[in-house]
């Protein structure tokens, strides 16, 4: 099973945290700050990327929480 990245997107008067390919948001928040905190927790747990969108819908920030083994 492939893990899907998590996005923080503007929605209505607040912000949604949604996993790629999902029909519904994981959670909805009044502020972008709260949504980013929730999305960060989800992305860390799932070991995927967190993509934070601006009000215009464009990706503004990417953070990777993927488990990548170090090469020796």
- 50 falls within a domain: yes
Residue 3 confidence (pLDDT): 78
How far, in Å, CA of 58 to CA of 2, rounded? Answer: 24
- 59 falls within a domain: yes
- 72 falls within a domain: no
Residue 1 confidence (pLDDT): 54
How far, in Å, CA of 30 to CA of 21, rounded? Answer: 23
- Strand order across the 59-64 sheet: 27-29, 14-19, 6-11, 49-53, 59-64
SS3 content of the chain, % helix, strand, coil (to 5): 20, 35, 45
Residue 10 confidence (pLDDT): 97
Number of domains in the chain: 1
Question: With a cut of 50, which residues of the chain have pLDDT below it?
Answer: none
Domain that holds residue 19: 6-64
pTM as predicted = 0.87
- 70 falls within a domain: no
């Amino acid at each position: 099973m492939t893990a899907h990245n998590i996005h923080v997107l503007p929605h209505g008067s607040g912000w949604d945290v949604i996993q790629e390919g999902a029909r519904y948001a994981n959670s909805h928040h009044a502020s972008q700050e709260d949504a980013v905190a929730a999305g960060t927790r989800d992305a860390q747990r799932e070991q995927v990327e967190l993509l934070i969108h601006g009000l215009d819908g464009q990706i503004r920030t990417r953070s990777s929480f993927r488990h990548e083994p170090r090469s020796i």
